[in-house]
Amino acid sequence: MRKVFMTALVLVLAVACCAHADEVKIGACIYRFNDAFMLRFRNAMSAESEKLGAVITIADGQDNQTTQDEQVDAFIADGVNVLIVNTVDRMASQSIIDKAKAANIPVVFINREPTPEMLATYDKAYYVGAKAEESGTETGELVASYFKAHPEADKNKDGKLQFILLKGQNGHQDMILRSKYSVEAVKNAGIEPVELASAIANWDKLEAMKIMNGFIMSIGPENIEAVIANNDEMALGAIEALKAQDYNTGNPEAYIPVVGVDANASALEAMDKGEMLGTVLNDADNQGISAVRLAAALAEGKDTGTIGYEITDGKYIWIPYQKVTRGEKQ
């Protein structure tokens, strides 16, 4: 741990010494580099920083809040002008806000939402993200409209939708709200949802594949009418498990609609091949660009009204989701 910390510190100092005095220095913390969606997010932030002439240093929290806390300390010690933080545990946001406030630097949280009460404790604390309930509703709608258009999808002919739910990380707003609103949307479409099984797979493809394997064995693929996953990686893991049973390989007799969220390239590919029903675009580009523009404006004390993104309730930038099926946006 200590060695990792020192390495991070040396890295931060190395970047800092090359920055000109008038350049904005952004310290960014990502909960884990090994995450397909956060990779898109990082790329967008780096590109926008370069455009603005800001210097961004991005640290990998390696899914460990203690590691991330040390990275925050190192950034502050190094004198960054602003922090962008994707917490490992969003409940740790308060202590990060306290540190930023003590150092009098703004902090922009991304992707993992602090509570409104936490954000209210510091006038320079913001959140950039997307409304989780929107993506939940949209995945549920994708499944519901498929189910209605394809009578054969109701395999046991009971008029209800027997589904499996693959959930992201415990406590994450996207896990809680996507799960809730996807099922709600099925109901609102007039279809009774019946949950066959659900499990946490931590946004991870391999974990989801193993879990889905177990579900296939215990439930039988012929009894599963849909798989709703909180993100694309887990949807793709489920599809791997299905393909191993000769499902979702092109035979219409052996197909289970699977939906995810993010619209990562690998999911769009799976959709093009007919393996995956649909996804929802989680707009990493606009989230990354707006986070960097907001951070830079705050660091320079500029008017945040000029960044090209609307700020709601003085605290939030909300980037909309968009349904995607077979490579087309709906």
Phi and psi torsions of 223, nearest 5°: -100, 0
- Rounded to 10 deg, the angle between the 284-299 and 36-52 helix axes is 40
DSSP E strand boundaries for 168-214: 192-200
Nearer to ligand GAL, 136 or 221 (CB): 136
3-state percent helix, strand, coil for the chain, nearest multiple of 5: 50, 20, 35
35 near ligand GAL, rule: CB under 6 A = yes
111 near ligand GAL, rule: CB under 6 A = yes
Nearer to Ca ion, 257 or 288 (CB): 257
Q: Write down the least CB distance from residue 7 to ligand GAL, Å.
A: 24
Nearer to ligand GAL, 69 or 262 (CB): 262
71 near ligand GAL, rule: CB under 6 A = no
218 contacts 175 by C-beta, under 8 angstroms: no
318 near ligand GAL, rule: CB under 6 A = no
Nearer to ligand GAL, 25 or 131 (CB): 131
176 contacts 132 by C-beta, under 8 angstroms: yes
Name the segment binding ligand GAL (CB under 6 A); options: 32-40, 118-126, 152-160, 296-304. Answer: 32-40
Separation CA 178–CA 280 (nearest Å):
11
Among 63, 78, 154, 184, binds Ca ion (CB under 5 A): 154
**Residue 293 binding: pick among ligand GAL, Ca ion, none (C-beta 5-8 Å cut-off by kind):** none
Nearer to ligand GAL, 49 or 87 (CB): 87
Separation CA 34–CA 223 (nearest Å):
34
113 near ligand GAL, rule: CB under 6 A = no
Separation CA 241–CA 308 (nearest Å):
43
Tokens matching residue 221: 């693929």
In 3D space, the residue among 272, 211, 279 whose CA is nearest the CA of residue 240 turns out to be 211
98 near Ca ion, rule: CB under 5 A = no
211 contacts 230 by C-beta, under 8 angstroms: no
Q: Which of residues 267-296 bind ligand GAL (CB under 6 A)?
A: 282
158 near Ca ion, rule: CB under 5 A = yes
Among 25, 90, 112, 131, binds ligand GAL (CB under 6 A): 112
Phi and psi torsions of 37, nearest 5°: -70, -40
Name the segment binding ligand GAL (CB under 6 A); options: 15-23, 34-42, 301-309, 314-322. Answer: 34-42
Interface with Ca ion by CB under 5 A: which residues? Answer: 154, 156, 158, 160, 162
